Amino acid sequence: MTFPRASGVLLHPTSLPGPHGCGDFGPAAFHFVDWLVAARQSLWQILPLGGIGPGNSPYMSSSAFAGNLLLIDLAELQQRGWLDDADLQPDAAFSDARVDFGAVVPWRMARLQQAAARFAQSASAADQSDFAGFCLHHAGWLEDYALFMTLNALHGGRDWCDWPAPLARREPQALQEAGAAHAERIAFWKFGQWCFYRQWKKLRAHANAHGVKIVGDAPIFIAGQSAEVWARQDLFELDAAGRAQVVAGVPPDFFSATGQRWGNPLYRWSAHAAEGYAWWIERVRRTFELVDIVRIDHFRGFAGYWEIPAGEPDAIRGRWLPGPGAALFDAIENALGELPIIAEDLGQITPDVDALRKQFGLPGMRILQFAFGEDGANDNANAYLPHNYERNTVVYTGTHDNNTTQGWWLDAAPALRQRVLDYLGTGDGHDIHWQLIRAACASVADTAIHPLQDVLGLGAEHRMNLPGQGEGHWEWRFTWNQVRPFHAERLAGFGALYRRG
């Protein structure tokens, strides 16, 4: 699908300002949309909206369908009478600059539990009806999710394959008994999802009404400790006990000399094909209920994926295996029509990956920080240099996995810096972040997206993630004090100059 010429900003909602330890769907999110409009930006790209997993990563959620309960605006629940003013007093451990997940998670979850209890006691008839309708509409995933989360907590977060065998194997009587015994706790998880979806729907409507589209993110793989893997064990490469013998990742690349061992279970693609890729169709359908455009992470895995023996400590020893290829996207397109999908085609991209992307007209990604390696700035084979772009492309200064542009520039060798300056035809690079944003906006690529850290000119200490490191990331936040009028004015000027309004 061809996208209109546009530009936008990459910012995950957890990075927004706010008093309760992490960004959420409260007033700061609506203000950020208004700021995007003032900056003449029509796209807001986010990371996956699912709950966080190991290392607090949004790419290892406990569900492919459920939302992150940390994003719920607690003040809105207080306005409905489900929390008191005293409940909203921030914890002293909270930081405006970082998400302290160790403090934020228990604090927010305790208040959600209190709100759920008060909702159960005193909800209006209208709210009860809306909640019931939500549960019915989402029953296909919500029932398994709520039961999984309940059982996961009861068993101390142990892998589901280590639960009592009747529950791990999903014997109907065991599931029925667990549902009856823990009905109140199951209702809590449903209540949380209702709050998440209800608030996100309002925020997205505000964005759309002001000409801003949401660019979502769908990880290709899902966490092994998730409701969907537990519920559909037949669709994943698991042994009889439910354990993965092989896991997902990528071989050594730009980001890591030992590759990236993600640890997700791999899909049993033959089983997906046998049911007409119904699970994937439903996943894509539900994702587009939340966002306007979807970036599919690790698109190359659909052409061929890296299989790593589960016992390996890193991703060096693995092998390439063929993915589902065009059959999957034919099934999705036949069921849902042509969709606005961005293919994250980074890493070891082979001709079959390019062919698959182009067959379905999906724009690929280009990262400006990758454009100035040892091959030099005039190499016509360098796909990341702007003069080699195709129109059906999404260009970034960097992504959530990159260093900030200022951090990248300070770490760069003198020869690389000179290649950048020669290519851009500019001075000393003191405002390199704006120079790369301008290069992205001026390019022929239909879409240009900039991390907010680059718009603000922030250094390496503000990066969001460092691939290959499991802890200490996904924590970055900004404050409105860091945002000056010229940030929006300059973005708006580029939007007008390069017809990205």
What are the pLDDT digits (tens) for 397-409?
999 999 999 999 9
Q: For this structure, is 87 an active site residue?
A: no
d(CA 400, CA 16): 15
Give me the CATH code for the 6-497 domain, please.
3.20.20.80
Burial class (CB in 10 A: 0-12, 13-18, 19+), 143: middle
Q: Where are the beta strands (DSSP E) in 193-287?
A: 213-218, 246-250, 260-265
Q: Above 80 in pLDDT, residue 418?
A: yes
Q: Above 60 in pLDDT, residue 425?
A: yes
State if pTM tops 0.85.
Answer: yes
Q: Above 90 in pLDDT, residue 230?
A: yes
Q: Give me the chain's average pLDDT, please.
A: 96
Question: 347 pLDDT band (50/70/90 cuts)?
Answer: confident
What pLDDT score was predicted for residue 374?
64
The pLDDT of 336-342, averaged and rounded, is 98
What pLDDT score was predicted for residue 367?
97
Q: Above 80 in pLDDT, residue 113?
A: yes
d(CA 453, CA 460): 9
Cβ atoms of 398 and 369 within 8 Å: the answer is yes
The pLDDT of 361-378, averaged and rounded, is 84
Q: For the chain, give the percent of residues with pLDDT over 90.
A: 93
Least confident of 33-42, 185-194, 280-289, 341-350: 341-350
Which among 501, 394, 490, 482 has a CA at the least distance from the CA of 32?
482
Question: 472 pLDDT band (50/70/90 cuts)?
Answer: confident
Q: Above 60 in pLDDT, residue 429?
A: yes
The pLDDT of 124-143, averaged and rounded, is 98
The pLDDT of 176-195, averaged and rounded, is 98
The predicted-structure confidence for 55-78, as pLDDT tens digits, reads as follows 999 999 999 999 999 999 999 999
Question: 373 pLDDT band (50/70/90 cuts)?
Answer: confident
Pairwise pLDDT comparison (320 vs 471), residue with the higher score: 320
The pLDDT of 225-237, averaged and rounded, is 98
306's enclosing H/E stretch is strand 304-309
- Check the CA dihedral 281-282-285-290 and report its sign: negative
Question: 43 pLDDT band (50/70/90 cuts)?
Answer: very high
What pLDDT score was predicted for residue 378?
53
Neighbours of 121 (CB within 10 A): 8
Question: 427 pLDDT band (50/70/90 cuts)?
Answer: confident
Torsion of CA 78, 483, 453, 380, to 10 degrees: 130
Catalytic residue, chosen from 143, 282, 401, 431, is: 401
Q: Which residue has the tokens 């065009």?
A: 326
Catalytic residue, chosen from 217, 344, 446, 454, is: 344
Question: 426 pLDDT band (50/70/90 cuts)?
Answer: confident
The predicted-structure confidence for 150-163, as pLDDT tens digits, reads as follows 999 999 999 999 99
What pLDDT score was predicted for residue 375?
53
Cβ atoms of 44 and 23 within 8 Å: the answer is no
* Residue 336: partners with Cβ closer than 8 Å, 6 or more residues away: 281, 284, 285, 288
What pLDDT score was predicted for residue 257?
86
Catalytic residue, chosen from 24, 73, 76, 297, is: 297
Which among 193, 185, 69 has a CA at the least distance from the CA of 140?
193
Cβ atoms of 280 and 272 within 8 Å: the answer is yes
Q: For this structure, is 401 an active site residue?
A: yes
Q: For the chain, give the percent of residues with pLDDT over 70.
A: 99
Q: Distance of alpha carbon 501 from its chain centroid, rounded? A: 25
What are the residues facing 247 on neighbouring strands?
265, 308
Pairwise pLDDT comparison (429 vs 111), residue with the higher score: 111
Q: For this structure, is 344 an active site residue?
A: yes
Question: 423 pLDDT band (50/70/90 cuts)?
Answer: very high
Question: 433 pLDDT band (50/70/90 cuts)?
Answer: very high
What pLDDT score was predicted for residue 1?
85
Domain ranges (residues) in the chain = 6-497
Question: 236 pLDDT band (50/70/90 cuts)?
Answer: very high
Q: Above 70 in pLDDT, residue 377?
A: no
